[in-house]
Amino acid sequence: MSNDTNRDSGSQKIFPDIPDLNGPTGTGLTFALRVRAFVIRNLELTFVLLIAVLVCAIFFLLPFRFAFLNLFYLPVLLAAYILGKRKALYACLNVIVVVIVTAVMRPEWFTLGGTTVSTLVMIIIWGASLVITSVGIGSMQEKLAKGFEETRRLYEELKRSRVTEEMKEKVEKTLYTTMDPVVAKLATEGKLRIEKREISIMFCDLTDFTSYSDQNPPDIVLDELNRFIGHLEPVVELYRGHIDKYMGDGVMVEFGAPIDYAQHALMAVIAAIKMQQKMKEIGLPWKLRIGIATGHTIVGMMGVHRQAYSAIGDRVNVAKRLEEICEPEKVYIDEFTCKLVDPFAHVVKLRNMGYSRQSDKMLLEELAELESAAAENGESADLLYEMGKKHFGLHDATAAIACFERALTLDPDSTEIRLAYADANLKRDEFEKFQLKGKLHKIAVFEVRGLKNRWDDPAVIPPAISAKYRSIEASIKLPSDLVLAVESLDGSIGRGHLVGMLSYVIADRLNLSEDQKLLILQAGYLQDIGKEAVPHHILNRQASLTDNEIKFVEKYVIESVASLKRLGYTDERLLEIVKHHHELWNGAGYPDGLKGEEIPIGARITGLAEDFSAMTSWRPYRAAWDSRLALNEIKKNTEKGYYDPKMVDVLFEILRSGTATP
């Protein structure tokens, strides 16, 4: 049996219902299929032939032909729908010409006893209606066809767009698991570039990790390390840091890149403090050491085929060396970082000593005695000289120089003091600066001890008031980390805490209920949380804001209310205080222009406390005001109608007397 025969047999077995096209039945089927294919290919010609046959049938086979002229509407409508407006019009004209010629030649076919003119008039009216109908239907059909085509095209584009969007989502999801989400988003949008920018760099490292990893199974080591990273990452993200890379048990982080936050040094230091606090809470078998340096670096996407956003430069090396010399559970920073965070953090300059100082305790005791003597009896050249020697013995050359300078002012002819002053200057770098690996010159190193508490600042709050309400301060249970992260955007560190506590004191002096006082404390603490929605460059603007920028900033109170609702705060009284704490007594405030007693009493209190806090705090465009200057400004603004005079009187009583006792 041949291969062709086998192929035919196989096709019959696979498709038993298909007739044999080579047989008798197949011949008829083939003819029918060919006719069908011809009709489909020549649809227009077929339709024209059908109309011609119909015309011949009407005019040559039927009597009273004029009445049957209306039947032409049906094929013309079909022609308009199938062929379109233009071809339907041509068909109409051809039909009308044929009918007119026929009517002229055989008028008796159309009317009985009528004239040729009247017949032609009727045919013209009929033909005009036929043309109008065909053109109208054809136009509608073309519009519909165009609409369908446009819909189909849009649908195809939508499918392609959806596929592209799904692919983009998958790529972004993959990127987010391998790099910072902000970097991934900016990279996909093509907004990252290589540039020189001032940023703060943090390096942190675990102590004794190598010995721990040698003594434990790999899965336990990796699990503990991931646990550490899992606690570290949220802190870094909260303070807008970019995790550059993990280096075993070490981490490199940039603040101020890729987003150029103005307070990057402050964000880095607060993040470091919070990371050390977190390490003590979670109880891992290691201790953390952190180094931070600030300055100009080159940032951008590094690499060719495999890229990563990173920073390079001298400050990166300094941060790494600071981390290497840092003691466990400490945070070391360079001098430039220290200058930027000095208004907010307790910072101590380190002495450069590589050996144990058992004599330090005795020297500190002797120095304390000398300082007490100076406070009681006043400063003298000999006393200042002795104090300078004690500072010099502690390797605190800067303090020693200051003492010697004051002593020389009192006794400029003392050779002994002059020699000590010169010796302190010569030893300054040796005592107070560190030689870091890879650095040509020594640098000053500082240790961060914590953030300043403005409530305990006697220049702002009288000590008696601070002491009396310290128990209330300790009982505050609020999202302090979230508020602190918002305050770090513009350097208003501690404002929420001060506003809340001062508002509580004012409410207490007004004899409000305990429930009202705690509610006002909460509102004062949280009312600026919506500033996160204001662009950070506006918050840190050193020049005056434009009218549009002022209006933009004013919207933050509404955002504060929305943020609090998202955090689960539903008490309408609290939300009303937050919303209206920028209303003014004369009705010129925002957002609703409330006036006088229309303003909730809590909002009148927290608004006044916030203005006092703002005046006495560091701002990007000025230093902190003295509290007396702030009170004078509040007095002037009260005369302008800004504050409730009753609240102002209470504030003056609290801040000027400070005679309250615990």
Residue 336: CATH number of its domain = 3.30.70.1230
Residue 438: Cβ-neighbour burial (10 angstroms; 0-12, 13-18, 19+): exposed
Model pTM greater than 0.85?
Answer: no
Same domain, yes or no: 260 and 130: no
Per the domain annotation, does 19 fall within a domain? Answer: no
Amino acid letter for position 495: R
Angle (CA) 378-384-389 rounded to 5° is 150
Per the domain annotation, does 181 fall within a domain? Answer: no
* Confidence band, pLDDT 50/70/90 cuts, at residue 208: confident
Per the domain annotation, does 133 fall within a domain? Answer: yes
Average pLDDT over residues 393-404: 86
Residue 170: Cβ-neighbour burial (10 angstroms; 0-12, 13-18, 19+): exposed
How many domains does the chain divide into? 4
**Tokens standing for residue 353:** 């000593």
Same domain, yes or no: 135 and 221: no
Angle (CA) 254-259-263 rounded to 5° is 70
CA–CA dist 606, 580 (Å, integer): 10
pLDDT at 274 over 50: yes
CA–CA dist 278, 481 (Å, integer): 12
Same domain, yes or no: 272 and 399: no
pLDDT at 58 over 60: no
Q: Which candidate, 251, 257, 258, places its Cα nearest to that of 235?
A: 251
* Confidence band, pLDDT 50/70/90 cuts, at residue 5: very low
Domain boundary among 407, 438, 469: 438
Q: What is the pLDDT of residues 289-308, one digit of tens each?
A: 999 999 999 999 888 877 78
Same domain, yes or no: 636 and 562: yes
Per the domain annotation, does 201 fall within a domain? Answer: yes
Most confident of 162-176, 218-232, 507-521: 507-521
CA–CA dist 354, 382 (Å, integer): 31
Per the domain annotation, does 278 fall within a domain? Answer: yes
Same domain, yes or no: 529 and 595: yes
Domain boundary among 438, 464, 490: 438
The phi, psi pair for 542, rounded to 5°, reads -90, -20
Same domain, yes or no: 531 and 649: yes
Kindly state the percentage of the chain with pLDDT values over 90: 41
Same domain, yes or no: 485 and 633: yes
Which residue's structure tokens are 């870094």? Answer: 236
Q: Is 250 helix (H, G, I), strand (E, B) or coil?
A: strand
Instruction: Domain of residue 426: give its range.
Output: 360-438
pLDDT at 216 over 50: yes
Q: What is the pLDDT of residues 511-538, one digit of tens each?
A: 999 999 999 999 999 999 999 888 888 8
Same domain, yes or no: 465 and 596: yes
Task: Give the helix ranges, DSSP H, for 489-626.
Answer: 495-509, 514-526, 536-539, 547-554, 556-566, 572-579, 601-615
Per the domain annotation, does 321 fall within a domain? Answer: yes
Same domain, yes or no: 474 and 577: yes
Most confident of 23-37, 127-141, 408-422: 408-422
Helices and strands per DSSP (H, E), number in the chain: 28, 9
Predicted pLDDT at 60 = 57
Same domain, yes or no: 430 and 507: no
Same domain, yes or no: 623 and 475: yes
pLDDT at 112 over 80: no
Same domain, yes or no: 136 and 202: no
Residue 411: CATH number of its domain = 1.25.40.10
Per the domain annotation, does 37 fall within a domain? Answer: no
Per the domain annotation, does 24 fall within a domain? Answer: no
Strands 195-206 and 241-247: unpaired
Domain boundary among 388, 405, 438: 438
pLDDT top residue among 26 and 550:
550
